[in-house]
Structure 1
Amino acid sequence: MPPRFASTYSPNLLLKSLLLMLFVGLAACSEAEIEPTEDSVGQGGQPAQRVTVETAETRDVDVRQDYAGRARGAREVEVRARIQGILEERLYQEGQVVSEGDSLFRIDPKPSEAALQGARAQRQVAEADLRQAEREWNRISSLYERNAVSERDRDSARSALELAQANLAVAEAGVTEAELNLGYTDVRAPVDGVTSLEDLPEGSLVNQGTLLTTIVQQNPVHVRFALPEGDAAIQRTARDAMTDAASAEDVDATLIMANGQEYDRTGKVDFTASTLDSRTGTVSARAVFQNPENQIIPGQFVRVRVQLQTLENVVTVPEKAITEGSEGPQIFVVDDESKARARPVRLGPVVEGRQVILEGLKADETLIVSGLVDLRDGTEVETGDDGGEAE
């Protein structure tokens, strides 16, 4: 009988053992081939990341802000009749630019002329009475000195003289009033400006105080706008300008027209309200602009650009260089070992497309401005030219 172990050592078992040994050998060879070496990668197992950098520089920055506003005439004057009468004629073209003193309407002057004649006649009567009273006073006073008349007669003559003087003064006032009323029949422009439509046609009976038209003074123009509650600097400066002419020179304003172009004349912010509008949380303000060529039309919407403050020796960076870190806004700088270092910063306003950095970045430091995707603190970087885009 053959040995027992010979019956368990079959050819199939031997084949499986050989295949298993071959597979283990191949796996060992593969692991040996793909094992990285220090010469093939950078520190951390990743190749250096390419970025674009710029050198931080400090400069003075003027912080400006735009506010929506509406232009208005510096003065909008209602032209009203000052006497009663028939409106005879309109002497201007509606919408015409008029100067102060130009005739606008004529009210029928005949009743006023008649009233003036009557007042002058009353003055003549008063003058005659005064001359008679003066003659009587001279005669009575002379007789009184010779004891020819009583003291009572003398006092009566003096009273008559004083009464005649008062009546003449009343008559003079009547003549003056009649002359004024006659002058009021010629309705003149009280200010320079642009006329509106007439409110009543010719032939209408007007009373004292009836509105005839409105004149809008377009030079200068006022632009009213609203300041947010936080813009306290310009509010204080404008309030100082109302009382101090020297301060007013510092409150400059630029007007941005509806087409986006800047108006060629600089204005002044001359007023800010002392109270806050509780409904909007804003403070009303006003800027004044000279408008000799009537380029600014009252009623149109414009924007007012004012300088809020000047920041001295601050660093500005492109907005895209700011990222969000665990502690808030941050930037990346490149250290002496060509590694990216995250740096938390305190941000100021954005001026002309660049972000002001108040704290966290100094002059002459190298700042990463692009190539920030997946960038981590300590990552080895390869810097490119400032004009490149490494995203």
Structure 2
Amino acid sequence: MTLIQPGGAPAPRTDRDKAEHARAPSWYAAVLLSFAVLAACGDGPGGQAEGEGAGGPAAPVSFVVVERQEAVIHRDYVARLHGAREAEVRARVGGILEARLYDEGSSVAKGTSLFRLDRAPYRIALQRSEAELANARAALNQAEREWRRVSGLFEQAAVSERERDQALSTRELAEARVALAEAGVAQAGLDLEYATVSAPVAGVTGLEAVTEGNLISRGGLLTTVTQLDPVQARFAMPAEDAVGRRSLASDPGDTNLEVRLLLEEGGRHPQAGRIDFVSSKVDEASGSVMMRAIFPNPELALKPGALARVRLAVKRFRDAYVVPPEAVSQGMAGAVIFVIDAQDQARSRDVRLGPEVEDGRLVLEGLEDGDRVVVEGQVGLRDGMAVEAEQIDSQGG
């Protein structure tokens, strides 16, 4: 800094002024150098930003070619497994339980003998009923002979009409007693048969409820038999999904509509199932509809009471595109996908997404048939940037 004296002549420099004057050229040179660097690296004329789209190196990307297709949406629902039939085995007659005739937990066929009660009282009851039947038949024979004799005499006017009517009534009462005795024999024989308790359905037996030597009353629970092939999966579906399910075409050959069972411990049951029951009303508390699916279980691997997940189709989209999830980015206005145009430049597309499917993400609007969708290398891409594109396996083409 230079000081001017009142007379107009420069004031004598001090030592401090001399030092500042000596540093001025080097400071000025540093400022000029900084501006030069900014001009070379900045966004001004001749800078890199202006040349990225046209003259910069092309960004390497990978793409898939998409085509319009039909997509089916599947959802999973928690289910509880039940046997197709779960029968309680109960005694139809009372008595002393003599023996258990099966191994607990074994598979049995329908009609297999499971328990045996003391049969002696029922044999005696059957013999008594048979004797009563014989007595009734003898009385009927006598009544028929008397009827034939009296009816013949009546035709000869040897007996009165009253005597003829009495003979006829006696014969009719004898016939009724025979029918009653025959019913008694049938009931006694049935009770004797019921003294051996059989499996009402085919299935797997449970533990015995009582052991041998106990007095069993009529209707007493002895064990259970559960049919494991097939099994039922009961689950609740939101009412909206239930409506969508009903709207799907019921084509038995469409594997997209198969009902699948996903096991709690992982994996999938190898056999597909079918829906065999849909409740006619919506549960007011949960807003869901109770449903039931049937699954074959020939290996008896599925057990009643276990938790599983039922997977089934709930909605179909006729015209949609499926892209890998990594192809979708989030822009200022929503979902964005980069496509490659005919000049091998990246172009951003605003798209409307649908739900996720097994093969990727559903795109309902924003794409066209044959679009090359970028799935790798889109990080850092900008609209109009040149790309070096490499095609990978097409999705749904």
Same fold (TM over 0.5): yes
1:57 is matched by which residue type in structure 2? V
CA contact (8 A) 1:332 1:343 kept: yes
SS at match of 1:218: strand
CA contact (8 A) 1:49 1:379 kept: no
Residue 339 to residue 146, structure 1, CA distance change in 2 (3 Å): same
Answer whether contact 1:56 1:366 (CA < 8 A) is retained.
yes
Cα drift, residue 107 of structure 1: 0.8
Aligned counterpart, 1:35:
39
Alpha-carbon distance in structure 2 between the residues aligned to 1:294 and 1:221: 9
Counterpart for residue 395 of structure 2: none
Give the deviation of 1:57 after TM superposition.
Answer: 1.1
1:33–1:88: structure 2 CA closer, same or farther, 3 Å change rule? Answer: closer
Match of 2:214 in 1: 204
Quote the residue 1:172 is aligned against. 182
- TM-aligned CA deviation for residue 212 of structure 1: 0.8
8 Å Cα contact 2:84/2:227 also seen in 1:
yes
SS of equivalent residue, structure 2 residue 83: strand
Partner of 1:54: 63
Residues 1:271 and 2:277 aligned together: yes
Alpha-carbon spacing, 1:82–1:249, altered in 2? closer, same or farther (3 Å): farther
Q: C-alpha separation between the residues in 2 aligned to 1:286 and 1:330?
A: 41
For residue 308 of structure 1, what is the aligned residue in structure 2? 314
Structure 1 window deviating more from structure 2 (63-72 vs 47-56): it is 47-56
- 8 Å CA contact 2:63–2:391 kept in 1: the answer is yes
Number of positions where the alignment pairs a residue of Structure 1 with one of Structure 2 = 379
Once residues 254 and 23 of structure 1 are traced to their aligned partners in structure 2, the CA distance between those partners, rounded to angstroms, is 78
Find the counterpart in structure 2 of residue 224 from structure 1: 234
1:320 alignment partner, one of 314, 318, 326 = 326
**Rounded Cα–Cα distance in structure 1 between residues aligned with 2:371 and 2:271:** 41
- Write the distance in 1 (CA, Å) between the matches of 2:378 and 2:328: 9
SS at match of 2:111: coil
What amino acid is the match of 2:269?
A: Y
Residues of 2 paired with 1:173 and 1:53: CA distance?
87
Using a 3 Å threshold, how does the CA distance of structure 1 residues 231 and 248 change in structure 2: closer, same or farther? farther
**How far apart, CA to CA, are the structure 2 residues paired with 1:232 and 1:160?**
70
Q: CA separation in 1, counterparts of 2:6 and 2:282?
A: 109
Check if 1:191 corresponds to 2:201: yes
Question: What letter matches 1:228 in structure 2?
Answer: P
Q: In the aligned structure 2, how far is the partner of 1:167 from the partner of 1:190?
A: 34
**Which residue pairs with 1:329 in the alignment?**
335
Contact 1:221–1:289 under 8 Å retained in 2: yes
Q: 1:366 to 1:159 in 2, by over 3 A?
A: same
Whether the aligned pair in 2 keeps the contact of 1:221 and 1:288 (CA below 8 Å) is yes
Per-residue Cα deviation, 1:83-118 (whole angstroms, up to 9, x for no partner): 111111111111111111111001111111111011
Amino acid at match of 1:209: G
Structural mapping, 1:254-265, within 5 Å:
254-265=260-271
Question: In 2 relative to 1, CA 172–337 (structure 1 residues): closer, same or farther, beyond 3 Å?
Answer: same
* CA deviation string 1:59-102 (max 9, x = no partner): 44343222222221100001111111111111111111111111
Call closer, same or farther: CA 1:217–1:10 in 2, change over 3 Å: same
Check whether the contact 2:64–2:375 (CA below 8 A) recurs between aligned residues: no
Is the Cα–Cα contact under 8 Å of residues 42 and 48 in structure 1 kept in the other structure? no
CA shift at 1:300, angstroms? 1.9
1:382 aligns with 2:387: yes
Residues 206 and 30 of structure 1: CA distance in aligned 2, closer, same or farther (over 3 Å)? closer
| Amino acid in the other structure paired with 2:50 | Q
Q: Note the C-alpha offset of 1:135.
A: 0.7
Distance 1:90 1:249, change over 3 A: farther
Root mean square deviation, CA, Å: 3.2
Distance in structure 2 (CA, Å) of the matches to 1:149 and 1:39 = 146
Q: Which moved more, 1:71-80 or 1:262-271?
A: 262-271
- Kept in 2: contact 1:237–1:247 (CA 8 A): no
Query: Would you say 1:65 and 2:71 are equivalent positions?
Result: no
Q: Is contact 1:83–1:207 with CA below 8 Å preserved after alignment? A: yes
Alpha-carbon deviation of 1:343? 2.2
The structure-2 alpha-carbon separation of the partners of 1:85 and 1:4, relative to structure 1 and needing over 3 Å to count, comes to: closer
Question: What secondary structure sits across from 2:126 in the alignment?
Answer: helix
Change (3 A) 1:62 1:29: closer
Residue 129 of structure 2 corresponds to residue 119 of structure 1: yes
Name the counterpart of 1:364.
Answer: 370
Q: What is the distance in 1 between the residues matched to 2:6 and 2:203?
A: 130
Q: Which residue of 2 aligns with 1:107?
A: 117
Does structure 1 retain, via aligned residues, the 8 Å contact 2:90–2:222?
A: yes
**C-alpha displacement of 1:258:** 3.6
Separation of aligned partners in 2, 1:237 and 1:172: 59
The Cα shift of 1:382 comes to 3.1
Identity of aligned residues (%): 39
Which of residues 58, 71, 88 is equivalent to 1:78? 88
Q: Counterpart amino acid of 2:179?
A: A
Note if contact 1:74-1:219 (Cα within 8 Å) is conserved in structure 2: yes
Partner of 1:344: 350
Unpaired stretches in structure 1, ≥5 consecutive residues: none
Distance across 1 between alignment mates of 2:29 and 2:124: 135
| Deviation at residue 295 of structure 1 after TM alignment | 1.7
Query: Measured at CA, do residues 15 and 157 of structure 1 come closer, stay the same or move farther in structure 2, by a change above 3 Å?
Result: closer
C-alpha offsets along residues 351-371 of structure 1, whole Å, 9 cap, x if unaligned?
Answer: 225101111111222323344
Sort the Cα spacing of 1:31 and 1:123 in 2 relative to 1 into closer, same or farther, 3 A: same
Q: Is contact 1:256-1:302 (8 Å) kept?
A: yes
